[in-house]
Amino acid sequence: MELMVAFAVGIMTTTGVFLLLRKRTFPVILGLIMLTYAVNLFLFAMGRLAVDQPPVIQDQGNGYADPVPQALVLTAIVISFGTTAVIVTMALRAYLEANTDHVDLESSEVGGLPR
Protein backbone atom coordinates (compact mmCIF):
# COMPACT_ATOMS: atom_id res chain seq x y z
CA MET A 1 0.00 0.00 0.00
CA GLU A 2 2.78 2.43 0.94
CA LEU A 3 4.37 1.69 -2.40
CA MET A 4 1.22 2.86 -4.15
CA VAL A 5 1.19 6.17 -2.28
CA ALA A 6 4.89 6.73 -3.01
CA PHE A 7 4.16 5.89 -6.62
CA ALA A 8 1.33 8.44 -6.71
CA VAL A 9 3.58 11.12 -5.28
CA GLY A 10 6.22 10.32 -7.87
CA ILE A 11 3.76 10.37 -10.77
CA MET A 12 2.22 13.66 -9.72
CA THR A 13 5.68 15.21 -9.29
CA THR A 14 6.73 14.05 -12.73
CA THR A 15 3.61 15.49 -14.32
CA GLY A 16 3.94 18.69 -12.33
CA VAL A 17 7.58 19.27 -13.20
CA PHE A 18 7.06 18.52 -16.87
CA LEU A 19 4.17 20.97 -17.09
CA LEU A 20 6.09 23.55 -15.09
CA LEU A 21 8.79 23.56 -17.74
CA ARG A 22 6.37 24.50 -20.55
CA LYS A 23 6.53 27.89 -22.20
CA ARG A 24 2.98 29.13 -21.72
CA THR A 25 1.32 30.33 -18.54
CA PHE A 26 -1.56 27.89 -18.53
CA PRO A 27 0.42 24.63 -18.47
CA VAL A 28 2.75 26.20 -15.91
CA ILE A 29 -0.26 26.87 -13.67
CA LEU A 30 -1.46 23.30 -14.12
CA GLY A 31 2.02 22.09 -13.27
CA LEU A 32 1.95 24.16 -10.14
CA ILE A 33 -1.40 22.69 -9.14
CA MET A 34 -0.08 19.17 -9.78
CA LEU A 35 3.03 19.85 -7.75
CA THR A 36 0.82 21.11 -4.93
CA TYR A 37 -1.05 17.80 -4.88
CA ALA A 38 2.21 15.92 -4.78
CA VAL A 39 3.68 18.01 -1.98
CA ASN A 40 0.52 17.89 0.10
CA LEU A 41 0.28 14.13 -0.24
CA PHE A 42 3.96 13.84 0.59
CA LEU A 43 3.62 15.96 3.72
CA PHE A 44 0.57 14.01 4.74
CA ALA A 45 2.43 10.74 4.28
CA MET A 46 5.09 11.90 6.74
CA GLY A 47 2.66 10.91 9.50
CA ARG A 48 2.66 7.35 8.07
CA LEU A 49 -0.46 5.75 6.70
CA ALA A 50 -3.31 4.45 8.78
CA VAL A 51 -6.63 2.99 7.73
CA ASP A 52 -9.80 3.52 9.73
CA GLN A 53 -8.12 5.52 12.46
CA PRO A 54 -9.29 9.13 12.03
CA PRO A 55 -7.82 11.43 14.67
CA VAL A 56 -11.19 12.05 16.28
CA ILE A 57 -11.34 11.05 19.93
CA GLN A 58 -13.78 8.19 20.47
CA ASP A 59 -14.57 6.02 23.43
CA GLN A 60 -13.83 2.78 21.64
CA GLY A 61 -11.27 3.94 19.14
CA ASN A 62 -8.71 1.55 17.68
CA GLY A 63 -5.83 4.02 17.60
CA TYR A 64 -5.47 7.33 15.85
CA ALA A 65 -3.63 8.55 12.78
CA ASP A 66 -1.03 11.27 13.32
CA PRO A 67 -3.02 14.54 13.44
CA VAL A 68 -0.05 16.90 13.11
CA PRO A 69 0.67 16.48 9.37
CA GLN A 70 -3.06 16.56 8.77
CA ALA A 71 -3.37 19.95 10.43
CA LEU A 72 -0.36 21.18 8.48
CA VAL A 73 -1.68 19.94 5.17
CA LEU A 74 -5.17 21.29 5.79
CA THR A 75 -3.89 24.84 5.96
CA ALA A 76 -1.45 24.08 3.16
CA ILE A 77 -4.34 23.17 0.87
CA VAL A 78 -6.12 26.44 1.58
CA ILE A 79 -2.96 28.50 1.26
CA SER A 80 -2.01 26.83 -1.99
CA PHE A 81 -5.42 27.80 -3.30
CA GLY A 82 -4.55 31.38 -2.37
CA THR A 83 -1.18 31.31 -4.12
CA THR A 84 -2.56 29.49 -7.15
CA ALA A 85 -5.23 32.13 -7.42
CA VAL A 86 -2.58 34.86 -7.32
CA ILE A 87 -0.57 33.16 -10.06
CA VAL A 88 -3.66 32.66 -12.17
CA THR A 89 -4.57 36.33 -11.80
CA MET A 90 -1.04 37.38 -12.66
CA ALA A 91 -1.09 35.23 -15.76
CA LEU A 92 -4.43 36.73 -16.74
CA ARG A 93 -3.37 40.30 -16.20
CA ALA A 94 -0.08 39.69 -18.01
CA TYR A 95 -1.94 38.27 -20.97
CA LEU A 96 -4.33 41.20 -21.09
CA GLU A 97 -1.50 43.72 -20.88
CA ALA A 98 1.11 42.07 -23.07
CA ASN A 99 -1.13 40.14 -25.47
CA THR A 100 0.98 37.02 -25.09
CA ASP A 101 0.97 34.23 -22.54
CA HIS A 102 4.58 33.29 -23.08
CA VAL A 103 6.45 32.94 -19.78
CA ASP A 104 9.81 34.16 -21.07
CA LEU A 105 10.89 37.70 -21.75
CA GLU A 106 11.48 38.53 -25.38
CA SER A 107 15.12 38.54 -26.31
CA SER A 108 15.03 42.32 -26.77
CA GLU A 109 13.94 42.69 -23.16
CA VAL A 110 16.58 40.38 -21.77
CA GLY A 111 19.30 42.19 -19.93
CA GLY A 112 17.77 45.49 -20.88
CA LEU A 113 17.73 46.93 -17.40
CA PRO A 114 16.25 50.40 -17.12
CA ARG A 115 18.91 53.01 -17.21
Partner 1 sequence: MRLVLIVMLPFLGAHLPMLLARAGRRACAIATGLTTLTAFVLLLTHGPLVLAGEAVSYYQSWIPQLGMDLALRLDGLGFLMAGLILGIGLLIIIYAYFYLGSDEPIGVFFTYLLLFQGAMVGIALCDNILALLVFWEGTSLASFLLIGFWRHLPEARQGARMALVVTGGGGLALIAGMLLLGEIAGTYTISEMVGLSGLVQTSELLPLALLLVAVGCLTKSAQFPFHFWLPHAMAAPTPVSAYLHSATMVKAGVFLLARMWPILSDNPWWFYLLTTTGVVTFILGAVVALFKDDLKAMLAYSTISHLGLITMLLGLGTVAGLVAALLHLMNHAVFKGALFLTVGIIDHETGTRDIKRLGGLWWWLPVTGTVALMAVAANAGLPPFGGFISKEMMLEEVGHITWFGYPRLLAGLATLAGLFSFAYSLRFFIKVFLGRTPEGMVRPHGPSWGLAIPGLFLAMMALGFGLYVEQLASPIIRAAFWGALGRETAVDIHLKLWHGVNTPLLLSGFAFLAGGGLLITHRGWERLFALFSWLDFKAAFDWSVSWTEELCKRVVSLVQSGSLSRYLVWMLVATLLLGGNAFFTSEFQWGTREPLPINGMVIVLSVLMLFTCWFTIANCGNRLLSLIAANVVGLIAAIGFIYFSAPDLALTQISVEVVTLILVLLALYFLPKETVVEGTTLKRGRDIVLAVLAGLAMFGLTWAVLSSDGPKLLADYFIEQSKPAGGGSNVVNVILVDFRGFDTFNEIVVLAISALIIYALLDGAMHGPAAAKLDGWEHDMPRSPEKHPTMLISFTRVLLPLALMVGIYMFLRGHDRPGGGFIAGLVVTIAIITQYMVSGFQWAADRISIDYHAWLGWGLLLAAGTGAAAIVLDYPFLTNAHKHFDLPYFGELDLSSALVFDLGVLMTVVGAVMLALANLSRLGRRAERAAAKAVEATTSEQHGD
Q: Backbone phi, then psi, for 93, in 5-degree steps?
A: -60, -40
Binding flag, residue 62, partner 1 (CB under 8 A)? no
Binding flag, residue 104, partner 1 (CB under 8 A)? yes
Binding flag, residue 97, partner 1 (CB under 8 A)? yes
What burial letters (b/e) apply to 70-83, b meaning 16+ CB within 10 Å?
Answer: eeebeebeeebeee
Binding flag, residue 99, partner 1 (CB under 8 A)? yes
Question: In whole angstroms, how close is the CB of 87 to partner 1 at the nearest point?
Answer: 10
User: Site map for partner 1, 8-27, x if CB under 8 A?
Assistant: xxxxxxxx-xxxxxxxxxxx
Neighbours of 38 (CB within 10 A): 20
Binding flag, residue 96, partner 1 (CB under 8 A)? yes
Binding flag, residue 111, partner 1 (CB under 8 A)? yes
Distances (CA, A) of 8 to 28, 29, 40, 58, 61: 20, 20, 12, 31, 29
Question: In whole angstroms, how close is the CB of 59 to partner 1 at the nearest point?
Answer: 10
Judged by CB, which is closer to partner 1: 4, or 60?
4
